[in-house]
């Protein structure tokens, strides 16, 4: 599980990114993130005890695509990203890259 590579603070940033995607995207969550509005609260309730090892599983999609969308998505300003996650985009990017490397990925992006 690549989440084990993250510190407690880094895990909080990832979780807040998932929460932020849920709040910010609303009805468009499934289209942009790949998980349903019903799945995301279930993942958040289990956090950090989720198995993100399957690339196309809801856990991995929720983490990867939430971070990706908050970093690069249309309609999300730096201020909004900071408000949603409590971290600036450079810190979000660092955590995203660390998580991806722990998975064995050489790059990040929508899966």
- Cα(65)–Cα(29) distance, rounded to whole angstroms? 10
Give the length of the chain: 111
Please give the tally of structural domains in the chain: 1
Q: Which range, 20-24, 43-47, 103-107, is most confident?
A: 43-47
In a domain, 108, yes or no: no
In a domain, 110, yes or no: no
In a domain, 111, yes or no: no
Overall pTM > 0.85: yes
Q: What is the DSSP string of 49-96?
A: -----STTSHHHHHHHHHHHHHHH-TT--HHHHHHHHSS-HHHHHHHH
Q: pLDDT digit string (tens) for 59-97?
A: 999 999 999 999 988 778 889 889 999 999 999 999 999
Predicted confidence at residue 90, as pLDDT, reads: 93
Q: pLDDT digit string (tens) for 17-38?
A: 999 999 988 889 999 999 999 9
User: What domain range is 59 assigned to?
Assistant: 2-103
């Amino acid at each position: 599980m690549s989440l084990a590579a993250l510190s407690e603070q880094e895990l909080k940033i990832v979780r807040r990114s998932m929460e932020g995607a849920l709040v910010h995207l609303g009805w468009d969550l499934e289209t942009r993130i790949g998980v349903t509005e019903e799945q995301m609260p279930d993942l958040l309730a289990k956090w950090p005890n989720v198995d993100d090892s399957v690339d196309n599983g809801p856990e991995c999609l929720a983490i990867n695509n939430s971070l990706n969308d908050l970093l690069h998505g249309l309609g999300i300003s730096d201020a909004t990203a900071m408000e949603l996650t409590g971290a600036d985009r450079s810190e979000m990017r660092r955590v995203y890259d660390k998580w991806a490397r722990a998975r064995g990925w050489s790059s990040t992006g929508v899966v």
